Amino acid sequence: MQSRFTPRRLYYGWVIVAVMAVAGGWTLSMGVANFGFFINPMRDDLGFDRAVFGWAASARTAGAALGGIFIGRLIDRHGARVLLAVFGGGGALLIAALAYVTTEWHLVAVYAVVGLMGMQGGANIYTGPVVSKWFVRNRARAMSMTYLGLPVALIAAFPLTQQLIEAFGWRTAWAVIGLIGVALIVPASLLFLRRQPSDFGMGVDGGAPEAPASPGAPPQEETERSWTRGEALRSMTFWRLTLAFGLHMAGQQSVSLYRFPHYEDQGVSATLIGYAASLEGMASIASAFTVAFVAGRLGLQWTAAVGFALMIASHVFTIIASNGAEVAAAVVLFGLAVTYLVVVQNLIYPAFFGRRHIGAIRGISLAVSMGLGAVSAPLTGYVADITGDFAPIWWGAVGVLALSGVLIATTKAPESKCESRIPESVA
């Protein structure tokens, strides 16, 4: 007789969460969240204009927008195991190759190709759809745990990047960051990633696998129904969500890329900025532990609105920052906000449209939202180069974020029309 104290078998979905936390966390550390640390050293050495870095960020975003359309469908069909190993490893090697950049187009071209591989942000085109396929009931908790990997990585990556640049130069910093990415992402993907619970004879959330329906038997009641990509694209809810998160990306990227060199321009030391930025990671960890609770009380739309309010407050502190305390306030608020917005974005699409085709649906949504966000970084750089001040366009970004918050808060779940929904078993 089995003892009641025998430990339960670990649901493999939590292994998937751990792998995607590592992959997403270090992708964000490969010249995304820490890109700003490289701007002033590379400008001093190579004479690049600010706008060049904006074009590089936009090229990576636009590349991810295009690549995500195809990557999402491939994840639905084949899983992310080989795909993430190849594209994640290849993207990391390209980041390491930035150690040899000499001209502006080198930087922009490398960032564009890395984006095409889906290695943008926290590798959201991989992390969100992959984790969503393993969880329904525990999805909010699983997403929160997945996105803990982002701030944990940044706590290490921010000071590491700054110290590498100060001690060895920006070229060595690029090489080290990229090679760490290869060492983390490739083996973790190949060894541990699997496509879906049925590959292990499991059901979602560790339950019993779904039995195939007998011929002529009535369809079973599903815990979650899925929309096809075409059905989602015909839903107004899909486009409201996508527009809201696209405006969010534009408003966030306008500030996030240039905030660290802006703090330096205001007289705050680079070393202090590097350590203050680690507070962002700590704030994101705290945020990850609360977002599922808040979403359960307020709903996903209003939880996103809270994230937008926090992001607006962070932008205001960034605009006025002139000392370490104000920089700390700005980065803490940013860390709280970005985790709320990233987690909710990866929860709300499967909550509204199901998990079966979530890769294809998210591929389209990310393509549109990233396309909207791609113009903001170079535009910000041009304005700053011409006026010598970020404030005018950053106040515009605050307005864009406010509009996004209103739009998401007033978006309703799509209607459950029988002709628009299909059971998981026949999708």
For 178, list phi and psi in degrees, rounded to 5: -65, -45
For 35-92, write each residue's pLDDT tens digit. Answer: 989 999 999 999 998 889 989 988 998 898 888 888 888 888 888 999 999 999 999 9
Instruction: Give the mean model confidence (pLDDT) for residues 414-425.
Output: 48
**pTM, full prediction:** 0.76
What is the domain partition of the chain in residue ranges? 13-200+226-413
* 67: Cβ contacts below 8 Å, ≥ 6 apart: 115, 116, 117, 118, 125
- Distance, in Å, from the CA atom of 320 to the CA atom of 119, rounded to the nearest integer, reads 32
On the question of pLDDT at 419 being above 70, the answer is no
On the question of pLDDT at 23 being above 60, the answer is yes
- Distance, in Å, from the CA atom of 57 to the CA atom of 410, rounded to the nearest integer, reads 31
Cα 322 to Cα 43, 112, 276, 353, 392, distances in angstroms = 22, 34, 13, 45, 17
Out of 214-223, 236-245, 337-346, 374-383, which region has the weakest mean confidence (pLDDT)?
214-223
* 122: Cβ contacts below 8 Å, ≥ 6 apart: 24, 25, 27, 28, 32, 147, 149, 150, 342
On the question of pLDDT at 174 being above 80, the answer is yes
Q: Which fold has domain 13-200+226-413?
A: Growth Hormone; Chain: A; (1.20.1250)
- Distance, in Å, from the CA atom of 345 to the CA atom of 333, rounded to the nearest integer, reads 18
Which residue in this structure is represented by tokens 């792998």?
19
For 214-247, write each residue's pLDDT tens digit. Answer: 444 444 444 557 888 889 889 999 999 999 999 9
Out of 111-115, 208-212, 241-245, 287-291, which region has the weakest mean confidence (pLDDT)?
208-212
pLDDT band of residue 426 (cuts 50, 70, 90) is very low
Instruction: Give the mean model confidence (pLDDT) for residues 306-313.
Output: 96
Instruction: Give the mean model confidence (pLDDT) for residues 273-297.
Output: 84
Number of H-type helices and E-type strands within the chain: 18, 0
Q: For residues 151 and 101, is the Cβ–Cβ distance under 8 A?
A: no
Q: For residues 270 and 41, is the Cβ–Cβ distance under 8 A?
A: no
For 321, list phi and psi in degrees, rounded to 5: -60, 130
Out of 241-245, 334-338, 383-387, which region has the weakest mean confidence (pLDDT)?
383-387
For 90-117, write each residue's pLDDT tens digit. Answer: 999 999 999 999 999 999 999 999 999 9
The per-residue pLDDT for 93 is 98
Q: Helices in 200-357 by DSSP H: which ranges?
A: 229-233, 236-256, 259-265, 270-298, 300-320, 324-353
